[in-house]
Amino acid sequence: MDRAYYHEMAALEDAHWWFEARRQILKSVLDRLPLPSGGTVLEVGCGTGGNLGLLSGYGRLYACEPDAEACALATAHGHADVAPGGLPDALPFGALTFDLVAMLDVLEHVEADTESLRAVYARLKPGGVLLMTVPAYRFLWSRHDEVNHHVRRYVRKAVVARLREARFEVRHATYFNTVLFPVVAAVRMLGKLRGQDGGSDLAMPSAGVNRLLRRIFAAERHLVPFVTLPFGVSILAVGVRPLVG
């Protein structure tokens, strides 16, 4: 990720519609996962720490991030033990294993995606849960992906295949950010046709537009935990390490 983008993200992630609505959707999924009380939670690739407050409600929270500056920004939130580390071969915290691992828009940054999922599998307790999100569809590729140093975007079938290759039981996998998908796709395709593909997507809109977009996107929290949506800007998946094997 471009260094300047860390500060942009840190400044926006508490109020920008996309971050706020996604946290509401994630909470709706997390609240329905079979997680033990007082368990251990790891966020891999925590960035500047915008999800740590949410995740801290589900157990003793640890987090890792390869960039030192982002680690410092995440540590400042005060919700987690934050350490440098990344995928697939540099997860920190020794032999500690976890009841929940969250990888929220992380796997698309990693060349070795199946190997990274295997590394996460090894750090889950039997019965432990992986909650992950990734961006969807190669045709939505834009300058935003380049600024964020993405390697790929996914389709749902590929996410399920990668998880199964890493020995996870796939409990749920769905597209989301579905209602706004036609608008996002149209804007990106039109920008490409006009040669106006910009940088990051995270400019803050006006307060009224921000509220409207947050309300539209967050409404999917009533659907995402229960149904498989047919398309969307992103993909959410839940994988479980089996109790045996």
Instruction: Give the residue-averaged pLDDT of 194-210.
Output: 76
- pLDDT, residue 117, reads 98
- pLDDT, residue 5, reads 67
- Tell which wins on pLDDT, 49 or 10: 49
DSSP class of residue 40 equals: E
Residue 98 CA to residue 124 CA, distance in Å, equals 5
- pLDDT, residue 11, reads 77
Given a cut of 60, whether residue 120 has pLDDT beyond it is yes
Q: Which has the closest alpha carbon to 145: 110, 109, 112, 173?
A: 109
Given a cut of 60, whether residue 26 has pLDDT beyond it is yes
Instruction: Give the residue-averaged pLDDT of 25-37.
Output: 96
Q: Cβ neighbours of residue 77 under 8 Å, at least 6 residues apart?
A: 49, 52, 53
Residue 46 CA to residue 31 CA, distance in Å, equals 20
- pLDDT, residue 147, reads 84
CATH number 3.30.540.10 is the correct assignment for the domain at 3-240? no
- pLDDT, residue 12, reads 86
**Percentage of the chain exceeding pLDDT 70:** 94
Given a cut of 70, whether residue 4 has pLDDT beyond it is no
Q: Where are the domains of the chain?
A: 3-240
Lowest average pLDDT, out of 4-18, 122-136, 141-155, 171-185, goes to 4-18
- pLDDT, residue 144, reads 83
Summarize pLDDT for 143-185 with one digit per residue, the tens: 888 888 899 999 999 999 999 999 999 999 999 999 999 999 9
Instruction: Give the residue-averaged pLDDT of 19-31.
Output: 98
Summarize pLDDT for 54-72 with one digit per residue, the tens: 999 999 999 999 999 999 9
- pLDDT, residue 20, reads 97
Q: What is the pTM of this model?
A: 0.94
Residue 104 CA to residue 91 CA, distance in Å, equals 16
- pLDDT, residue 188, reads 85
